[in-house]
Amino acid sequence: MQRLLFLLLCGLCLPVAAQNTAKKKAASSAPASAVQSTSLLKVNVTAQPYDLHLPWQKQSPLNSRGLGVVVAGNRVLVTAQLVADANYIEIELPDGGQKLAAKVIAVDYEANLALLESAINAEKEKAFFAGLKPMEVDASARIGDSLNVWQTGRVGDLIESPLTISKILVRRYVVEGSGFLVYETTGIVRSEANSFTLPVIKGGKLAGMLLSYDSKNQVTTILPGPIIEHFLKDFADGEYEGFPGLGMEFQVTLDGQLREYLGLKPESPGVLVTAVIKGASAEKAGLKKGDILLAINGQTIDARGDYKDPRYGALSSSHIVRGNAYVGDDFELKVIREGKEETLKGKLTRKNPDDYLVTPYRFDKGPRYILNGGLLFQELSRPYLDSFGEQQTENSALLRLSHIARHPDELEEAGLKKLVFLSTVLPTPSAQGYDQLGGIVVNKVNGQAVGDLKDLDAAFKAIKGTTHVIELDDFPHVLHLDAVAAEQDNLRLQGGAYRISSLKRLE
Amino acid sequence: MKNRLCLLLLSAFAIAALPGHVRADATTPPEWAGIVNIEVSVLFPDYREPWNAGQPSGGSGTGFLIGKNRFLTNAHVVSNATRILIRTTDDPKPHPAKIVHIAHDCDLAIIEAENPETFAKMTTLDFGSIPRLNTEVIAIGYPIGGDRMSVTRGVVSRIDFRPYSHTSVDSHLCVQVDAAINPGNSGGPVMQDGKVVGVAFQGFSGRVAQNVGYMIPVPVIKRFLTDIEDGRYDHYVDLAVSDFPVENPAQRQALGLQDDGVGVMIGDVEPAGTVGELLKPGDVILAIDGNPVLNNGLVRIEGDLVNMNEIVERKFAGDTIQLSYLRGGKKEDASLKLKRFSPYVRLGSQYNQRPRYLVYAGLVFQPLDRNLVDAHQIRDATVNYVFERYLTDKLYVERPEPVVLTSILPDQVNTWLTPYAQSLVDEINGVTIKTLDDVKTALAKNDKPFIEIRLHEKNRPLILKRDLADAAHPRIMQTYNIQEDSYLGQE
């Protein structure tokens, strides 16, 4: 009874949000839960991530089940986490159990969203979606609003868990990258078989998707409607560009002594810019380390780095660009540089994971590598370093790799696109004596500088005589590899005990 | 079994007599009376609160008479000692003693009784040589399990070049025996045919290995005794290179080596070491002092294959060494004066040192070394990197003594700085911090109203208003009960 009342109230509130059509829909959908569930689908995924240490092979397949939300154009919205490294995806009608193979047509691992479409011919698709209704996105939720997590039972029956938004803030989702808007809610979420991508509903519309649930404290984080809206709008033209970013770091200026040192008046806003990422939007607009950032797009940044959002109140300034703007939009920064106020202008861009010296994340595609005579070369990535866990702070080679990863600027300036390193050595006759080596950055091969694995591939072909000369950044500094023996070993690696399918992956 | 029991009983009996009056006996020669128990009170320095004296503790080991009122023992037995007492089983009186020489790098020390008359009439123990593999030895000392002298018996299991755990960064010749060596045996003699063939010093715990005990062999002891003849210990000298075994046929050919098993590649060179200006990675050492160096870095000394460092090990600072090496296929010869390579010392445990530090306005600065890293359990990636790669990335060249802002004692003046504890200091007031002394110099610069501290890989500078910080300093010293605001070492 309470629930019904809540939905009705919700419907009553809606007209304020200036969405006229929403009113009717929400009000009419409230009493009949069977109607509502026609926008939900079960999504079954078999994912198989690549082995980061033996990159020619994949790990064991993992099955996960989640829920998808039907959106316009017979498409299904899910979290990117659910479909990461997917081998096979199928969507399933919760009540009837019919299944349809699906594929990813747009995915954003930073925003943790993906859009699916039928992988089968149009006729089957039409029949499958015939009884389904697309759900609209709601971006109107505020602190104090009530939401509902939807799950489906065994026969498609709707299970609802009510939640209340207690905070709206900016936080990292799953992979590294700037923060995104998050609703933090309190309430109990029932545990059902669907582990991923639970839709969160407000007045019959999609207000968000469940990101995490802490059952001990009964705190849920929710990927909110405005980010979903942004994602769908971006893809409306069929081409997905992703969320833009300024590409800078700042420090708060709450410390009175620091403020005085920076010449900031007690009541003055502004944060201290402490890093500007090479090649990102802010750098292109001329932002420099040491600038005091006063405003982004006319929004004043306070000493904490927050701005006053008209909907949510104080919010991290990163949301001004991340959540509200698109790639290609104009932006404007107001800064104090050497005591004078300046305005910097530019167009928003986005740095893709492959544009970084150390790849922050990589899904669906296997890690790049070259295997030659048992010597395995890879490009350094964050997941590779993270796969060592605690060892990262103890192992000498890893400490050095991590240290280099923290200083990409100098290496990027030296012309490096990726950090190529000898990751491990498989025991072969041609690599005899080298099998204890690993984690060492490669400088040159056969006299040629190595800026990425493609360079390395070319360098191996540019052999002088019959011996490859591999120059390393660290002990033992130089290795020699007999090219003929290595070729024989390469054949053995492919056909013998290791059964390695391919000696390299460059894409 | 019966034999051993008999031996123990007899030896206990022998020691019951007064020193100097020990009866000659088939199983307990009179010089065994010179094998004594050393009881030590220690203060473990406090690297967390470096202004405090430290934690009192105690321990016990063994030593033996090798000269007039001179007892040889392990450095680790008497490290950080505030009081040393020599006890013998037949004499109720403890005899106060002091350290004469201590060599942490080879874990050996000489102590003497404060009263030289006490042990004047006692017979000394003589040294033998390196015992052969599979020959019988006995270890004598005062290990756990009882109060009186203990003897255990075994054979020489292995002769090898091994790390010495006292500093954890020094490696020397080491002899493994399967005679039980337990805590308290440390510093005691291992004997064969009535001669000392080693000093028992370390073992493996029973959970890791069984019957693995180690002794410091005679060449290492003799080197120590020779080194201190001039009244001073001058430490080991070192080539300070890392060798990379030449096992790969392509590597061997490319380096211009014959297929005769001779020559080891240089994988890394310490610029501040003996060969820092001569060798570079990719060179090949062919011979040291005329001894051919094999592909795996071993040389043959007295019939046994040992690490090539063993040749250098037996020499002293200022001695010369002949090197034959190959560069770009061309053979070269060089004669070099050996010198000590000291930057590595801070990577190992150090003893008998008062922690150095400087406190200003609640910010505690300390030099980076193993003792500090262990005490503070540092998790900061930058500090760990600099510590771990201090030698291999040649960081000591630029910063001989990296300084860590280890902790911040909270006060209103530094309340915004507390998240920056355990950071590596780069610059203070424009002065590059290369040693702890630089911190003092840099803080003394007061030409600006602000103190500006820049940290490695921390994006913001730490700013303190000088007048506020100066005013807070005495207050913090008092509140946190700090007697002196710095100890920079003896002037």
Residues 6+ apart with CB under 8 A from A276: A247, A248, A249, A282, A283, A287, A288, A289
Q: Which of A420-424, B116-120, B445-449 has the highest mean pLDDT?
A: A420-424
A471 vs B: CB within 8 A:
no
Q: Which of A39-43, B360-364, B445-449 has the highest mean pLDDT?
A: B360-364
pLDDT value of position A178:
73
**Domain shared by B225 and B269, yes or no:** no
**Domain shared by B363 and B416, yes or no:** yes
Residue A23 confidence (pLDDT) above 50: no
b (16+ CB within 10 A) / e for A452-461: bbbbbbebbe
Nearest CA in chain A to B380: A393
**Token reading at B1:** 């079994």
Q: Is residue B350 part of a domain?
A: no
Please give, rounded to a whole number of angstroms, the shortest distance from the CA of A257 to a CA of chain B: 6
- Residue of B255, B280, B463 to mutate when probing chain A, most A C-beta within 10 A: B463
Token pair 């062999």: residue: B217
Q: Is residue B40 part of a domain?
A: yes
**Domain shared by B16 and B132, yes or no:** yes
A389 vs B: CB within 8 A:
no
pLDDT value of position A13:
32
Considering CB atoms only, which of B248, B249, B465 is closest to A257?
A: B465
**What does the pLDDT average to over B218-231?**
96
Query: Of B183, B199, B229, which residue constitutes the final position of a domain?
Result: B229
A394 vs A278, B101, B388, CA distance in Å? 30, 35, 8
pLDDT value of position B8:
27
Task: Give the other-Cβ count within 10 Å of B371's Cβ.
Answer: 21
Residue B61 confidence (pLDDT) above 90: yes
Q: Is residue B342 part of a domain?
A: no
Which CATH number do you get for residue B224?
Answer: 2.40.10.120
**What does the pLDDT average to over A29-40?**
56
**What three-state secondary structure class fits A208?**
strand
Nearest CA in chain B to A480: B251
Residues 6+ apart with CB under 8 A from A123: none
Please give, rounded to a whole number of angstroms, the shortest distance from the CA of B243 to a CA of chain A: 8
pLDDT value of position A2:
37
Q: Residue A194: which pLDDT band, with cuts at 50, 70 and 90? A: low
Residues in A 199-218 with any Cβ partner in B closer than 8 A: none
Q: Is residue B99 part of a domain?
A: yes
Q: Residue B303: which pLDDT band, with cuts at 50, 70 and 90? A: confident
B248/A400 CB distance under 8 A: no
Q: Is residue B236 part of a domain?
A: no
Indicate the DSSP class of residue A116.
Answer: E
Query: Of B196, B229, B262, which residue constitutes the final position of a domain?
Result: B229
pLDDT value of position B282:
95
**Domain shared by B188 and B249, yes or no:** no
**Domain shared by B175 and B196, yes or no:** yes
B265/A476 CB distance under 8 A: yes
B416/A485 CB distance under 8 A: no
Which residues does chain B have within 8 Å of residue A434's beta carbon, measured at their own beta carbons? 248
Please give, rounded to a whole number of angstroms, the shortest distance from the CA of A123 to a CA of chain B: 57
Residue A315 confidence (pLDDT) above 70: yes
Nearest CA in chain A to B245: A433
Q: At what angle do helices A396-405 and B381-388 cross, to 10 degrees?
A: 130
Query: Of B308, B337, B366, which residue constitutes the final position of a domain?
Result: B337
Per-residue pLDDT of B404-422, as tens digits, reads 999 999 999 999 999 999 9
Token pair 């015939």: residue: A130
Q: How many domains does chain B have?
A: 3
Please give, rounded to a whole number of angstroms, the shortest distance from the CA of A400 to a CA of chain B: 7
pLDDT value of position A153:
80
Looking at A183-197, B83-97, B357-371, which range is the least confident one? A183-197
ipTM for the whole complex: 0.86
**Domain shared by B194 and B136, yes or no:** yes
Please give, rounded to a whole number of angstroms, the shortest distance from the CA of B445 to a CA of chain A: 17
**What does the pLDDT average to over A157-165?**
91
pLDDT value of position A34:
44
pLDDT value of position A195:
65
Nearest CA in chain B to A255: B416
Residue A1 confidence (pLDDT) above 80: no
Residues 6+ apart with CB under 8 A from B451: B428, B429, B443, B463, B464, B465, B466, B469
HEC-encoded secondary structure of chain B: CHHHHHHHHHHHHHHHCCCCCCCCCCCCCHHHHHEEEEEEEEEECCCCCCCCCCEEEEEEEEEEEEECCEEEECHHHHCCEEEEEEEECCEEEEEEEEEEEEEHHHCEEEEEECCCCCCCCCCCCCECCCCCCCCEEEEEECCCCCCCCEEEEEEEEEEEEEEECCCCCEEEEEEEECCCCCCCCCCCEEEECCEEEEEEEEECCCCCCCCCEEEEEHHHHHHHHHHHHHCCCCCCCCCCEEEECCCCHHHHHHCCCCCCCECEEEEEECCCCCCCCCCCCCCEEEEECCEECECCCEEEECCEEEECHHHHHCCCCCCEEEEEEEECCEEEEEEEECCCCCHHHHHCCCCCCCCCEEEECCEEEEECCHHHHHHHCCCCHHHHHHHHCCCCCCHHHHCCCCEEEEEECCCCCCCCCHHHCCEEEEEECCEECCCHHHHHHHHHCCCCCEEEEEECCCCCCEEEEHHHHHHHHHHHHHHCCCCCCEECCCC
Nearest CA in chain B to A289: B459
Please give, rounded to a whole number of angstroms, the shortest distance from the CA of B353 to a CA of chain A: 26
**Domain shared by B214 and B328, yes or no:** no
Percent of chain B past pLDDT 70, that is, above it, reads: 94
**Domain shared by B4 and B151, yes or no:** yes
Which residues does chain B have within 8 Å of residue A400's beta carbon, measured at their own beta carbons? 385, 389, 392-393
A431 vs B: CB within 8 A:
yes
Which CATH number do you get for residue B322?
Answer: 2.30.42.10
A402 vs B: CB within 8 A:
yes
Residue A7 confidence (pLDDT) above 90: no
Nearest CA in chain A to B452: A261
**Domain shared by B1 and B86, yes or no:** yes
Domains with residue ranges and CATH for chain A = 248-347 (2.30.42.10), 356-505 (3.20.190.20)
Percent of chain B past pLDDT 90, that is, above it, reads: 83
pTM for this structure? 0.88
**What does the pLDDT average to over A240-265?**
94
**Domain shared by B275 and B194, yes or no:** no
Q: Is residue B470 part of a domain?
A: yes
pLDDT value of position A197:
79
Which residues does chain B have within 8 Å of residue A254's beta carbon, measured at their own beta carbons? 416
Per-residue pLDDT of A104-117, as tens digits, reads 999 999 999 999 99
Residue-number span of the structural domain to which B428 is assigned: 356-487
Which residues does chain B have within 8 Å of residue A255's beta carbon, measured at their own beta carbons? 416-417, 463
- Residue of B243, B244, B295 to mutate when probing chain A, most A C-beta within 10 A: B244
A402/B385 CB distance under 8 A: yes
Q: Is residue B349 part of a domain?
A: no
A391 vs B: CB within 8 A:
no
Q: Which amino acid is present at A58? A: K
B248/A249 CB distance under 8 A: no
Which residues does chain A have within 8 Å of residue B459's beta carbon, measured at their own beta carbons? 249, 251, 274-275
Per-residue pLDDT of B445-461, as tens digits, reads 988 999 999 999 988 89
Residue B332 confidence (pLDDT) above 80: yes
Looking at A35-49, B59-73, B272-286, which range is the least confident one? A35-49
**Domain shared by B187 and B250, yes or no:** no
Considering CB atoms only, which of A257, A394, A482 is closest to B249?
A: A482
Alpha-carbon span B452 to B126, nearest angstrom: 62
- Residue of B242, B243, B247, B248 to mutate when probing chain A, most A C-beta within 10 A: B248
Q: Is residue B346 part of a domain?
A: no
Q: Residue A37: which pLDDT band, with cuts at 50, 70 and 90? A: low
Q: Residue B442: which pLDDT band, with cuts at 50, 70 and 90? A: very high
Angle at A369 between CA A367 and CA A373, to 5 degrees: 150
Which residues does chain B have within 8 Å of residue A399's beta carbon, measured at their own beta carbons? 381, 384-385, 388-389
Residue A14 confidence (pLDDT) above 60: no
A440 vs B: CB within 8 A:
no
Which residues does chain B have within 8 Å of residue A410's beta carbon, measured at their own beta carbons? none
Residue B14 confidence (pLDDT) above 80: no
**Domain shared by B53 and B173, yes or no:** yes
Radius of gyration of chain A (CA): 26
- Residue of B241, B384, B394, B458 to mutate when probing chain A, most A C-beta within 10 A: B384
